[in-house]
Amino acid sequence: MDGRRVLIIGAGSIGERHLRCFLATGRVRAAFVETNPGRRADVAGRYPRAVAHETLEDALEQPPGAAAIATPAPSHIPLATRLVELGVPVLIEKPLSVSLDGVHPLAALAIEKRVPVAVAYVMRARPALAEMRRAVASGRFGKPLQLVATAGQDFAYYRPAYRETYYADRFSGGGAVQDALTHLINAGEWLVGPVDRVVADAARLKIEGVDVEDTAHVLARQGDVLASYALNQHQAPNETTITVACERGAVRFELHAGRWLSCERTGAAWVDHGPGGPLDPDAPFTRQAEAFLDAVEEKDAPLCTLEEGARTLRANLAILESVETGRWVETSSVGARS
**pLDDT in tens for each of the 338 residues of the chain?**
345 899 999 999 999 999 999 999 999 999 999 999 999 999 999 999 999 999 999 999 999 999 999 999 999 999 999 999 999 999 999 999 999 999 999 999 999 999 999 999 999 999 999 999 999 999 999 999 999 999 999 999 999 999 999 999 999 999 999 999 999 999 999 999 999 999 999 999 999 999 999 999 999 999 999 999 999 999 999 999 999 999 999 999 999 999 999 999 999 999 999 887 778 999 999 999 999 999 999 999 999 999 999 999 999 999 999 999 999 999 999 974 44
Element housing 113 (H / E): helix 103-113
Residue 277 is predicted with a pLDDT of 72
Residue 2 is predicted with a pLDDT of 46
Residue 105 is predicted with a pLDDT of 98
DSSP 137-178: HTTTT-SEEEEEEEEE--HHHH-TTGGGSGGG-GGGT-SHII
Residue 299 is predicted with a pLDDT of 95
Question: Max Cα separation, the chain?
Answer: 64
Residue 3 is predicted with a pLDDT of 57
Element housing 111 (H / E): helix 103-113
Q: How far apart are CA 177 and CA 216, in angstroms?
A: 7
Q: What amino acid is encoded at 19 in this protein? A: L
Q: How far apart are CA 211 and CA 209, in angstroms?
A: 7
Q: Judge whether 204 and 335 are in contact, CB under 8 Å.
A: no
Domains and CATH numbers, the chain: 4-123+285-301 (3.40.50.720), 126-279+313-333 (3.30.360.10)
Could you give phi then psi for residue 90, rounded to 5 degrees? -135, 135
Tally Cβ neighbours within 10 Å of residue 277.
Answer: 9
Q: How far apart are CA 98 and CA 115, in angstroms?
A: 23
Q: How far apart are CA 240 and CA 233, in angstroms?
A: 12
Tell me if the pTM is above 0.75: yes
Residue 275 is predicted with a pLDDT of 82
Residue 279 is predicted with a pLDDT of 81
